Amino acid sequence: MNNQDTALSLAPAPLLSVVVPCYNEVENVEELIRRLAKALQGIFWEVIFVDDDSPDKTSQKVADLAFQDARVRLIHRIGRRGLSSACVEGMLSSSAPYLAVMDADLQHDETLLPEMMTALRSQQLDIVVGSRYVDGGGVGCWDTKRAAYSRFATQISRYFTQTELTDPMSGFFMIQRDALMQRVHRLSGVGFKILLDLFASSSTPLRFLELPYIFKERYAGESKLDNRAFLEFGMLLLDKWIGHLLPVRFVAFILVGGVGLLVHFFVLLLLFRLTGNSFMLGQTVATLVAMTTNYLLNNFFTYNDVQLKGWKLLTGWFSFTLVCGIGAAANVGISSLLFQRQTNWILSALAGIAISSVWNYAVTAVYTWRVPSIGTKP
Ligand code: GDD
Ligand code: MN
């Protein structure tokens, strides 16, 4: 054995990485580590917290703990949000053969982890899922709205994933690294539902086992499952449905564009047809109003994960308007020209809109929301 080989074998890496996405969980992380340490005795493990720059300074807390304990690691992401993408990045940062994902708020039952690992090691399985809906599992005390939402989402997901999973919305599972690597390029990485994403992105079905657990009360802090989660759930389904043809952002942009079109025609109708202003004026004002509406809607829906807020919402609007100014000029120019040449007013407006939409999408993706490439999935 030469020196290098000796060096390589001196500090072996953990067998199990527990990936924990977190956002504003400062009160929970220490307790989670304590419970993991207790549950995982005898297993060579580590925990990887993936924090999206939480305002409550979760990442600083994790960094402090990581400095005291080498089993604790931190990925601190800035300018991004997203539970699924956090899980994916956490898993990709590990070289362990077994990868678990669980929430930071202690709602998932960490004592199930050893059993999950035993099942993965002893049976022909790709993934073991913690389920609230098999015998012995449960959701604890949920309000009716939350329970209804969960049931509804579970039904749609089962349809999409075509699996027998009882709990496709579960955020608690352990997967073999190889099984993940075979599918990771096809993942959407959108939203909350990483497990659903994994199952829906598999050309070869995942061999799975479900183990029951009781979904506990949150230890501290608040749930982030809000309207954003709903929205992202929609984006994920959209991506699974049409994402192999077009990037989901583009589809969302076009849908928002559809709303902008309605706004555009409403203003144009009001100014040009009903109050007798010139077509040029009507089209110019309609373009401006539609542009602002589109900006706000895209910022909320299409670019939810990199949403511009506060001061940046304003500067973003400026850059959007500035960049789209060229698009708008082309829009007004081309549509007016067509209109002057006796083209029908609706067709004239549509041609202007079509040209400016493509321009708007391509240029604002890069300059306003600064996503790395317009083809990149959120
Ligand atoms: N990094 C990161 N970024 N983490 C996030 C984000 C985010 O944008 N949003 C939420 N998280 C973290 C939370 O801090 C928590 O650790 C975990 O993801 C789950 O978020 P909760 O807000 O606690 O969600 P929940 O309890 O309502 O729903 C959970 O349980 C459901 C049932 O298993 C989630 O795991 C759902 O995916 C799951 O369906
Ligand atoms: Mn939770």
Compute, in angstroms, the gap from residue 55 CA to the centroid of ligand 2: 18
pLDDT of residue 70: 95
Compute, in angstroms, the gap from residue 23 CA to the centroid of ligand 2: 11
Q: Is the pLDDT of residue 2 over 70?
A: no
**Distance between CA atoms of residues 53 and 60, nearest Å:** 9
Q: When comparing pLDDT for 360 and 296, which is higher?
A: 296
Region of poorest pLDDT, from 45-59, 97-111, 153-167: 153-167
Nearest Cα residue to atom 26 of ligand 1: 223
Compute, in angstroms, the gap from residue 19 CA to the centroid of ligand 1: 12
Q: Is the pLDDT of residue 276 over 90?
A: no
User: In ligand 1, which atom is closest to the CA atom of 23?
Assistant: 14
Percent over 70 (pLDDT), the chain: 92
Residue whose C-alpha is closest to residue 216's, from 127, 111, 87: 111
Amino acid present at 303: Y
93 within 8 A of 48, measured Cβ to Cβ: yes
Amino acid present at 260: G
Region of poorest pLDDT, from 268-277, 299-308, 328-337, 353-362: 353-362
Pocket test for ligand 1, best of 225, 233, 235, 236 (most atoms within 8 A of CB): 225
Nearest Cα residue to atom 30 of ligand 1: 171
pLDDT of residue 110: 97
Amino acid present at 42: G
Name the superfamily (CATH) of residues 13-242. Answer: Spore Coat Polysaccharide Biosynthesis Protein SpsA; Chain A (3.90.550.10)
- With bands split at pLDDT 50, 70 and 90, how would you rate the model's confidence at 375? very low
- With bands split at pLDDT 50, 70 and 90, how would you rate the model's confidence at 5? low
Pocket test for ligand 1, best of 76, 224, 231, 309 (most atoms within 8 A of CB): 224
Q: Is the pLDDT of residue 186 over 70?
A: yes
Q: List the alpha helices (DSSP H) in 184-245.
A: 194-200, 227-242
pLDDT of residue 75: 98
pLDDT of residue 220: 84
Q: Is the pLDDT of residue 119 over 70?
A: yes
What would the mean pLDDT of 127-151 be, rounded to a whole number?
Answer: 81
Q: When comparing pLDDT for 248 and 331, which is higher?
A: 331
Compute, in angstroms, the gap from residue 68 CA to the centroid of ligand 1: 26
Residues lining ligand 1, CB < 6 A?
Answer: 21-23, 25, 50-52, 81-83, 86, 103-105, 107, 169-171, 192-193, 223-225
What would the mean pLDDT of 304-320 be, rounded to a whole number?
Answer: 90
Q: Which ligand is nearest to the CA of 102?
A: 1
Q: Is the pLDDT of residue 320 over 80?
A: yes
- With bands split at pLDDT 50, 70 and 90, how would you rate the model's confidence at 1? very low
- Give Cα 7 distance to the centre of its chain: 39
Q: Is the pLDDT of residue 361 over 70?
A: yes
pLDDT of residue 6: 59
What would the mean pLDDT of 358-375 be, rounded to a whole number?
Answer: 78
Compute, in angstroms, the gap from residue 339 CA to the centroid of ligand 1: 53
**Distance between CA atoms of residues 160 and 164, nearest Å:** 11
DSSP state of 274: I
Q: Look-up: residue for tokens 């209804």?
A: 148
The most confident of the ranges 223-227, 310-314, 343-347 is 310-314
Q: Is the pLDDT of residue 137 over 50?
A: yes
Residue whose C-alpha is closest to residue 54's, from 33, 25, 83: 25
The most confident of the ranges 74-78, 193-197, 316-320 is 74-78
pLDDT of residue 228: 67
- With bands split at pLDDT 50, 70 and 90, how would you rate the model's confidence at 283? confident
pTM over 0.95: no
- With bands split at pLDDT 50, 70 and 90, how would you rate the model's confidence at 376? very low
**Residues shown for the chain:** 378
Please give the mean pLDDT across all residues of the chain.
Answer: 87
